[in-house]
Amino acid sequence: MFKCHDKFENLDEELVDLQDVYKNSLQNEVLTIKKLNTESEKYKNVSQNVCDLNGAEYVIFSKYMKKDFHDLEQFIFVDHTGKTVCTLSGRELDLYNMVKDCDNLREAKQY
């Protein structure tokens, strides 16, 4: 029997409030997660216009969305525990120059 391996060994501990559907999608690489670069000018400008974004630390999105469909993409912003803060579409913003890798999530060794 084939057993899938989780991508992150500490996802449950780091993001305790993250919905199970997002955890499963991240562990199986259907979705990807990035840390928000709150020091970037772009983040500062966006957070002034989208007040709910202030509590967000991470963004979850599809790693397979083609550029042609960017306007239809949904970005799920979560806080430091994984609780959903807000959701924005690709029509409302793009993430370029606003995200970086999550240095607190450890990839599983067997992955």
pTM of the model: 0.87
Interval 9-27 mean pLDDT: 96
Provide φ and ψ at 30, rounded to 5°. -80, -40
pLDDT in tens, 5-17: 789 999 999 999 9
63 burial type by CB count under 10 A (0-12 exposed, 13-18 middle, 19+ buried): exposed
pLDDT in tens, 40-69: 988 888 888 776 788 899 999 998 888 788
In the sheet that 84-89 helps form, which strands lie side by side, from edge to edge? 84-89, 74-78, 58-62, 31-36, 99-100
